[in-house]
A = this chain, B = another copy of it.
Amino acid sequence: MQIVTEHRRKDIHNSDIPSVCAACEARHGGVCGTLTPDQLLDLSRHSTRRRVEPGREVVGQGEMTDSYANIISGVVKLSKVLSDGRQQIVGLQFAPDFMGRPFTRESALTAEAAIDTDICSFPRNVMERLVAEAPGLEHRLHEQALKELDEARDWMLTLGRKTAQEKVASFLYIIATHIDPENGTATEFDLPLSRADIADYLGLTIETVSRQITKLRKDNVIRIENSRRVTVPSMDRLMHVAGID
List residues of chain A with CB under 8 Å of any chain B CB.
Answer: 78, 80, 82-84, 86-88, 90-91, 101-104, 108-109, 135, 138-139, 141-143, 145-146, 148-150, 152-157, 159-162, 200, 202-203, 243, 245
Contacts of A103 in B (CB 8 A): 142-143, 146
Q: Is the CB of A153 within 8 A of B83?
A: no
Contact A243/B90 with A102-B142, A152-B152, A153-B152 known, Cβ cut-off 8 Å: no
Q: Sample 23 A-B pairs with CB under 8 A, ordered by A number.
A: A80-B154, A80-B157, A82-B162, A82-B243, A82-B245, A83-B245, A86-B162, A90-B157, A91-B153, A103-B143, A108-B153, A109-B153, A135-B135, A135-B138, A138-B139, A141-B142, A142-B145, A145-B146, A145-B149, A149-B149, A156-B156, A159-B159, A161-B203
Bound-complex Cα distance A151 to B94 (A): 22
The 3 closest A-B pairs by CB, nearest first: A160-B203, A152-B152, A90-B153
Contacts of A160 in B (CB 8 A): 88, 159, 200, 202-203
The complex is assembled from copies of this chain, and their number is 2
The smallest beta-carbon distance between A124 and chain B, in angstroms, is 15
Contacts of A156 in B (CB 8 A): 80, 88, 90, 152, 155-156, 159
- Residue of B88, B101, B138, B162 near A138 (CB, 8 A) is B138
The smallest beta-carbon distance between A171 and chain B, in angstroms, is 12
The smallest beta-carbon distance between A144 and chain B, in angstroms, is 9
Contact A108/B145 with A135-B135, A139-B138 known, Cβ cut-off 8 Å: no
Q: Interface centre among A83, A150, A161, by most B CB within 10 Å?
A: A161
Bound-complex Cα distance A243 to B85 (A): 11
The smallest beta-carbon distance between A115 and chain B, in angstroms, is 22
The smallest beta-carbon distance between A26 and chain B, in angstroms, is 26
Contact A102/B152 with A87-B161, A88-B160, A161-B203 known, Cβ cut-off 8 Å: no
Contacts of A153 in B (CB 8 A): 78, 80, 90-91, 108-109, 152
The residue in chain B whose Cβ has the minimal distance to the Cβ of A87 is B161
Apart from A90-B156, A138-B138, list 19 A-B contacts with CB within 8 A: A78-B153, A80-B154, A80-B156, A80-B157, A82-B161, A82-B162, A82-B243, A83-B243, A83-B245, A103-B143, A135-B135, A142-B142, A145-B145, A145-B146, A145-B149, A152-B152, A155-B156, A156-B159, A160-B203
